[in-house]
Amino acid sequence: MQLQLISFVLILTCMEYTDCQQQPSRHRQNKQIPGVSSGCQGGCLTCSDYNGCLSCKPRLFIFLERNGMRQIGVCLPSCPSGFYGTRSPDRNTCTKCRPECDSCFNKNLCMRCRAGYYLHLGKCQESCPESLVCSDTQRECVPKCPADCDACLINDTCTRCRPGLYLLLGKCHHVCPDEFEPNDKLMECSLQVHCEVGEWGEWSPCSRSGKTCGFKWGEETRTREVVQFPSAYGKPCPPIWEKKECVLKRRRCPGQGKGRKGERRGERRNRDNRRDKDSQGEGRRERKKDRERERGETGDREDSENRNKTEQRRRRGQNRDLVVSPEGGGPEQ
């Protein structure tokens, strides 16, 4: 290959010295002398008007672009896609990859395949081995998807799960892990969102039934805002409203002095009447109990007297039987 390039350069040099060239290059205005670097541009060390760069500066690759029937040399820092660079002490060249390779590292190691081919162990193949499947997106032979996956990109990385399973970080789960919850719409495990509330506000004025006067006791309330509402399985919100009992500073409302005093007197009178009625009723109940108790004691005395009289009559009858004989004669001996 190097001998062919050297011979090609010699032929071009002969053509320039014999004025065989018919027209100067449209892209180059100044004719350069072979072997001289002055006037060359784009990293060229030596160049010609007809064929561009003939050699490049150190660490640059010479790349031959085809333009009709001729090739034009260009010096590049790296080779374009479809070519790989080869370095040597004399020159650095760009060599075309295999037809099935889209990009390669060298002639035996493809980096990416063209459409219709799949990369496996550095080779581009039309089909993959039995243990692998073809990936059109990556143009590679990749392992088969796990049993729980319906679709995947690479080994153990699922993009869609089978029905009834939930996707999380490339894995399919029957039940979502802790701190995650199932999303039946997307069939994914979503992060749980817990409720968040702000700070408590100020206490409201002490009032009762919408009034700040006229009563002794009232209530104060305060609230706080919900900053983040929880998800379906997140922690619920704590109370955002609370109250406490308080003493009203003004017990008497303006303009209600006498009327309010009269009402209090009426209430006091009613309470006194109720207490009197209760005490009277209690007295009646006590007197009734006393009467019942007296009746019970009187009945007990009468029963005792009756028993005594009966016992006396029985004894008198026995004495008569002892004095009078059975024949109606004299007393018994």
The residues with which 84 forms a beta bridge, in sequence order, are 95
Taking domain 98-144, whether its CATH number is 2.10.220.10 is answered by yes
DSSP string, 122-176: TEEESS--TTEEEETTTTEEEEPPPTTEEEEEETTEEEEEPTT-EEETTEEESS-
Structure confidence by residue, pLDDT tens digits, 287-332 = 777 777 777 666 667 777 777 777 777 777 766 655 544 444 444 4
Q: In this structure, what DSSP letter does residue 196 have?
A: E
Q: Matching CATH topology for 27-96 and 146-191?
A: yes
CATH number of 27-96: 2.10.220.10
What percent of the chain shows pLDDT beyond 90? Answer: 28
- 20 three-state secondary structure: coil
Buried b (16+ CB within 10 A) or exposed e, 169-187: eebbbeebeeebbbeeeeb
Q: Is the pLDDT of residue 104 over 60?
A: yes
* 135, 125 contact by CB (below 8 A): no
d(CA 267, CA 319) in angstroms, rounded, equals 78
d(CA 312, CA 333) in angstroms, rounded, equals 26
Structure tokens of 273?
């009447």
The residues with which 141 forms a beta bridge, in sequence order, are 134
Domain boundaries, the chain: 27-96, 98-144, 146-191, 198-247
Angle at 143 between CA 141 and CA 147, to 5 degrees: 145
Interval 231-240 mean pLDDT? 92
198-247 has which fold?
TSP-1 type 1 repeat (2.20.100)
Structure confidence by residue, pLDDT tens digits, 29-83 = 333 444 444 457 778 988 888 888 988 998 999 998 888 888 889 999 999 989 9
β-strand pairing of 52-56 with 241-247: unpaired
Q: What integer best gives the mean pLDDT of the chain? A: 78
Structure confidence by residue, pLDDT tens digits, 110-136 = 999 999 999 999 999 999 988 788 888
Q: In this structure, what DSSP letter does residue 30 have?
A: S
Q: What CATH architecture does domain 146-191 belong to?
A: Ribbon (2.10)
